[in-house]
Amino acid sequence: MIKGKFITIDGVEGAGKSTHIKFICDYFNKKGINLLLTREPGGTDIGEKIRELLLNPEIKTIDNDTELLLMFAARNEHLKNKILPALNRGEWVLSDRFVDASYAYQGGGRGISDSRIDILSNWTLKDFCPDLTLLLDIPATESIKRVSAKNKDRIELEQIYFFENVRAHYIKRAKQFPDRIKLIDSTKSIEQTKKNIKNILSNYVF
């Protein structure tokens, strides 16, 4: 059995992931590729329970290390019980966020060093990583503006400097892994952003 491919989509709040995930799913459907859509934190029963804890705005204090450990606990379940089985069945998988988000949010946002995150990443993922990551990029000021009308979760309630640091770490990751992470300017119109995503996917899907 030929293994499927693992694609992730990431970016700060308000970057347009939800809109473009639908477009990506439609693109793969037209290509006749069976695509499993999932998300982080979440994706499994345990992962979704952890997600409820992590994003609950009523929980005011979670230690940064606890947050990081919970993210990787959910990720371990996600990988072992959903992503890898699907890939081994020959399916393609699209995940709304994956490990790059921990380097951006817990690394950039919370100030946890990359070397500490590396320890958990190496433990849970070993040498596994996405085949392709679509990174939607917008400035932190635009991120704050786009989510202002929503009922914000615990992460979305953070201040602008938090999202500035998150964005900076995303860009840092894109520079570290340019073959895998494709940085996409999401300040453009929805149609232009879709076009840019399609160009990337058309060069990747064969």
Q: What is the pLDDT of residues 81-134, one digit of tens each?
A: 999 999 999 999 999 999 999 999 999 999 999 999 999 999 999 999 999 999
As a whole number of angstroms, the distance between CA 159 and CA 30 comes to: 40
Determine contact, residues 29/35, Cβ cutoff 8 Å.
yes
pLDDT of 155 > 90? The answer is: yes
Please determine, looking at this structure, whether the domain spanning 6-204 carries the CATH number 1.10.460.10.
no
As a whole number of angstroms, the distance between CA 180 and CA 142 comes to: 25
pLDDT of 1 > 60? The answer is: no
Which of 67-71, 146-150, 182-186 is least confident? 146-150
Mean of the per-residue pLDDT values for the chain?
94
38-60 in b/e form (b: 16+ CB < 10 A) is bbbbbbbeebeebbeebeeeeee
Per-residue confidence (pLDDT) for residue 182, from 0 to 100 = 98
Determine contact, residues 25/35, Cβ cutoff 8 Å.
yes
Average pLDDT over residues 31-46: 95
Which of 86-90, 108-112, 146-150, 198-202 is least confident? 146-150
pLDDT more than 90, % of the chain: 88
Residue with tokens 């453009």: 188
Amino acid at 86: A
As a whole number of angstroms, the distance between CA 175 and CA 70 comes to: 27
DSSP 162: H
Determine contact, residues 103/173, Cβ cutoff 8 Å.
yes
Global confidence as pTM: 0.94
Per-residue confidence (pLDDT) for residue 15, from 0 to 100 = 93
